[in-house]
Amino acid sequence: MVMHAHAYPDIEIPTPSQIAAVALNNEPDENGEQSMVLSMGPQHPSTHGVLRLAVELNGENVVQLAPDVGFLHTGIEKTIETKTYTKSIVLTDRMDYLAPMSNNMVYVAAIEKLMQQDVPERAQTLRVLLLELTRINSHLVWLGTHALDLAAMSVFFYAMREREYILDIFEMLTGARMMTSYFRVGGLAWDIPADFIPTVEDFLTHFLPKVDEYEDLLTNNLLWKQRTKGVGVVNAADAIALGLSGANLRASGVDWDLRKTMPYSGYETYQFDVPVGQAGDIYDRYRCRVQEMRESVKIARQAIERVKQMHGQPYVTENRKVAPPPKSEITYSMESLIHHFKLWTEGFRPPRGSAYAAIESPRGEIGCYVVSDGTPKPWRVHFRAPSFINLQALPHIAKGKLMADLVALIASIDPVLGEVDR
Amino acid sequence: MIDRATLEQRVSAQFPTVRIGDESGDLCLTVERQQLPALAGWLRDEPDLAFTFLNQLCGVDYLGRDPRFEVVVHLTSFQNKMRVTLHIEVPEADPTIPTLARLFPTANFQERETYDMFGIIFTGHPGLERILMPEDWLGHPQRKDHPLGYEEVAFTHNEDWIYANKPFAKE
Amino acid sequence: MGLEEKAGDLGIVTTTLEGVVNWGRTKAMWPMLFGLACCAIEMMAGQASNYDMSRFGLELMRASPRQADLMIVAGRVSRKMAPVLRRLYDQMPEPKWVVAMGDCASCGGVYNNYAIVQGVDEIVPVDVYVAGCPPRPEALIDGILQLHEKIKRDKITDHADGKPIRIEQAERGALKPLG
Ligand code: SF4
């Protein structure tokens, strides 16, 4: 796909105060018509969290709107600077709380890139398995809430039912349902329990027919189609200019998935397809994501087969300067004890420098930029939050649409406010 | 598809003052701030380069170094499956830099965030306002000389003192 | 005693007015749909198929504070959100209760920094704190049941001159608006 200079779109994104200025100088025009400025949120059932939208309306039509974010700003990037590399993995979970493993992954991937640390194959395979489970988990919440916003309530209950299975798997693995903090630099935090693989297999067998069930409820549903087809169209050039990523980009017909195009964690060795839409409307985004769930099951199955072959291989690197030794070793080896002590009191020291790593999270390209000054604490960590950047497209997409479509649009972009505001 | 060596050659032919380096395996270009729009626009518009996707834009505060700030931009070329990093140094005395929001609309929010967090002013930006912090916030929180805002944690030995001073809300 | 024995078969129960009122309040609480962050997802899970909080009378999640009497602060409250939160609380009709769900709402949690309010009790009076990051839905349900216990101990005589104490205090000027 080649684009020429004149084709690159220039898109205006208003700010909330520019819209507020409209409200201040709001005089009726010669026909006596007057626009109305509406503040939607931050406490609103369909903004998926604490998002505020300043909307200028002409009757039912959106003239322009501006997202006002920051109501959940948590200072995660600054807090990470005060903790060691390992400790701050906990904080990354809580950005995109629907896909904690993806956040863990991108953070450790950036550090690994910086340190040129390699990861054992078994750990990589398990990571792929978990990332795909996370993708399913996140898409299920998206599907449930998206349908709920468009008044299809039962889908929500269906989706949350399957999500509980995944949460049970995560709980079995890490002890926590949502905030798993399971990835470490150089591998994983601990080994998988013995009955983990059979449980995941059970889940995948159980889950695949359920996707058809969701599709039965929505895909050919007349109401659903009327609310989503042809609504909120983004063309490919605009999508790229707005920095959309993930299913939002692919629904517009751009075949760009980091798992295929810039593979990490061994994704190049798996067989799977990347669903690409054409129309770039809400319906295509929906189709892409639902299809992605099926592809995730495919990848997870392949990963399981590999993990079964790799029994007994390490789950974390043997590099004792990065990963602590197993507890059993500490009892007889003085050196292990020193490593253990050093790692837990001080942490490891990556070399000076910086690195940017990006992976395909359920929402799009999540990236992490790490700057190290050679001390055990990062100098600066910045996350490219896909929700933050996808949300930026909302003013462009919603222009001229109906107010009721705005609700569908927000849900279809799938923002997670924790990640938007960090 | 072009490879990295070709890209380096083309950049140094077109922009001789750009310093070419490496950032953990990615090509890294350090540019003067006046040159940034020209370079970014050139990378975007050359048909064989086509770095049309701006991944991210963020600020870094190297307190104690001169120039103190740095703006880091990552661009991706879908066509070449390649990523480049642009580093732009920004001095503390005059923390301004030309905006990229006109070239890449996606830079809009990220520049606002960088302004909010570091106080770096993007000249020509269509609406440079705070985005994450409240409008009346003083200071730029991610600067290194801005305090973290840590509050003492209450444990049994100090909770009496802390709770006596904590502003509990009334009905 | 006497009446109950005589009326035993008529299906009449005698109790105190207080008991009836408090019982009624516990059985049909309308929580406000106030999801802030990660904890809100667990609150949603609590509403959904597996946990089904409506078993405990929390059937209706209201998006409007005017129709709610229980505010579940599910998540971290930033300094930018704090005034909004207080305003929503003020808009809720009496009687009202607050549950601080999760570590962030209770005490700031893992975020001890410039952006997060160190405990929502700096902004609104909290009745029950639920620990966990995020608390499991069971923990939230337990918190709600604790709140029920608390409500059952409420006294109508807490209200002076027929007015709830809070309103009376406000009229006396004992209550200052939060700066
Ligand atoms: S307590 Fe934990 S789960 Fe809840 S909002 Fe805070 S960080 Fe998120």
pLDDT tens-digit profile of C51-84? 888 888 887 778 888 888 888 888 888 888 888 8
CA dist., res. A409 & res. A173, Å (int): 35
Specify the pLDDT at position A205: 92
Is residue A96 within 8 Å of A416, Cβ to Cβ? yes
Q: Can you name the residues that pair with A97 across neighbouring β-strands?
A: none
Specify the pLDDT at position A369: 93
Q: Where are the beta strands (DSSP E) in A100-219?
A: 183-184, 187-188
Specify the pLDDT at position B46: 85
Specify the pLDDT at position C156: 66
CA dist., res. C44 & res. C39, Å (int): 9
Domains and CATH numbers, chain B: 4-165 (3.30.460.80)
Q: How confident is the model at residue C173 (pLDDT cuts 50, 70, 90)?
A: low
Query: Which one of A11-20, A115-124, C29-38 scores highest in mean pLDDT?
Result: A115-124
Report helix, strand or coil for B52. coil
Report helix, strand or coil for C18. helix
Cα C134 to averaged position of ligand 1 atoms, centre (Å): 5
C108 lines ligand 1 (CB under 6 A): no
Subunits adjacent to chain C (3 or more Cβ pairs under 8 Å)? A, B
Q: How confident is the model at residue C38 (pLDDT cuts 50, 70, 90)?
A: confident
Q: How confident is the model at residue A382 (pLDDT cuts 50, 70, 90)?
A: very high
For residue C67, is it within any domain? yes
CA dist., res. C27 & res. C149, Å (int): 11
Above 80 in pLDDT, residue C163?
A: no
Specify the pLDDT at position C166: 53
Q: Where are the beta strands (DSSP E) in A196-350?
A: none
Specify the pLDDT at position A5: 44
Above 50 in pLDDT, residue A141?
A: yes
Give per-residue pLDDT as tens, A47-106. Answer: 777 888 888 888 888 888 888 888 888 889 999 998 899 888 998 988 888 889 999 999
Q: Exposure of B70 by Cβ count < 10 A (0-12 exposed, 13-18 middle, 19+ buried)?
A: buried
Query: What total of structural domains would you count in chain C?
Result: 1
Q: How confident is the model at residue A126 (pLDDT cuts 50, 70, 90)?
A: very high
Q: Which CATH number describes the domain made up of A76-421?
A: 1.10.645.10
Residue with tokens 């992954």: A105
Q: Where are the alpha helices (DSSP H) in C125-164?
A: 137-152
| DSSP symbol at C175 | S
Q: What CATH number did the domain enclosing C103 receive?
A: 3.40.50.12280
Give per-residue pLDDT as tens, B79-130. Answer: 888 889 999 999 988 899 999 888 888 888 999 999 999 989 999 888 888 8
For residue C106, is it within any domain? yes
Q: Which of A177, A414, A422 to mutate to test the interface with C (most CBs of C within 10 A)?
A: A177
CA dist., res. A162 & res. A332, Å (int): 46
Nearest-CB residue to B150 (from C112, C121, C178) = C112
Nearest C-alpha of chain A: how many angstroms from C80?
A: 5
Cα C154 to averaged position of ligand 1 atoms, centre (Å): 30
Whether residues A97 and C37 touch (CB distance < 8 A) is answered with yes
Above 90 in pLDDT, residue A370?
A: yes
Whether residues C114 and A44 touch (CB distance < 8 A) is answered with no
Specify the pLDDT at position A314: 87
Q: Using a CB–CB cutoff of 8 Å, tell me whether B106 touches chain A.
A: yes
Above 70 in pLDDT, residue C5?
A: no
Above 80 in pLDDT, residue A26?
A: no
CA dist., res. C53 & res. C47, Å (int): 5
Above 80 in pLDDT, residue C26?
A: yes
Nearest CA to A212 among A164, A162, A166, A146?
Answer: A162
Q: What percent of chain C has pLDDT over 90?
A: 2
Whether residues A241 and B52 touch (CB distance < 8 A) is answered with yes
Residue with tokens 């005017």: C66
C43 lines ligand 1 (CB under 6 A): no
Nearest atom (ligand 1) to Cα of C75: 5
Q: What percent of chain C has pLDDT over 70?
A: 81
Specify the pLDDT at position C161: 47
Residue with tokens 């801005």: B146
- Contacts of residue B165, Cβ cutoff 8 Å, sequence gap at least 6: none
Give per-residue pLDDT as tens, B118-146. Answer: 989 999 888 888 888 888 888 888 888 88
CA dist., res. A177 & res. A193, Å (int): 16
What is the domain partition of chain A in residue ranges?
12-68, 76-421
Nearest C-alpha of chain A: how many angstroms from B105?
A: 6
Q: What is the mean pLDDT of residues A404-418?
A: 87
CA dist., res. A398 & res. A376, Å (int): 45
Q: Can you name the residues that pair with A369 across neighbouring β-strands?
A: A356, A382
C25 lines ligand 1 (CB under 6 A): no
**C115: chain B residues, CB-CB within 8 Å:** 133, 141, 149
Whether residues C80 and A73 touch (CB distance < 8 A) is answered with yes
Nearest-CB residue to C37 (from A44, A141, A418) = A418
Nearest-CB residue to B106 (from A1, A15, A389) = A389
Is residue B63 within 8 Å of B127, Cβ to Cβ? no
Q: Domain containing C55: what range?
A: 28-153
Q: Which of B54, B55, B102, B137 to mutate to test the interface with A (most CBs of A within 10 A)?
A: B55
Q: What percent of chain A has pLDDT over 90?
A: 22
For residue C79, is it within any domain? yes
C109 lines ligand 1 (CB under 6 A): yes
Specify the pLDDT at position A300: 92
Whether residues B142 and A10 touch (CB distance < 8 A) is answered with no
B–C CB contacts, 8 A cutoff, strictly below:
46
In sign, the C-alpha dihedral spanning A293, A296, A297, A298 is positive
| DSSP symbol at A374 | S
Q: Using a CB–CB cutoff of 8 Å, tell me whether B105 touches chain A.
A: yes
Specify the pLDDT at position A61: 86
Above 90 in pLDDT, residue B159?
A: no
Whether residues B130 and A10 touch (CB distance < 8 A) is answered with no
Above 60 in pLDDT, residue A37?
A: yes
Nearest C-alpha of chain A: how many angstroms from C37?
A: 6
Q: What is the mean pLDDT of residues C101-119?
A: 87
Q: How confident is the model at residue A199 (pLDDT cuts 50, 70, 90)?
A: very high
Give per-residue pLDDT as tens, A287-331. Answer: 999 999 999 999 999 999 999 888 888 888 888 888 888 888 888
Q: Can you name the residues that pair with C101 across neighbouring β-strands?
A: C74, C130
DSSP A27-55: ---TTS---EEEEE-SS-TTSSSS-EEEE
Nearest atom (ligand 1) to Cα of A97: 8
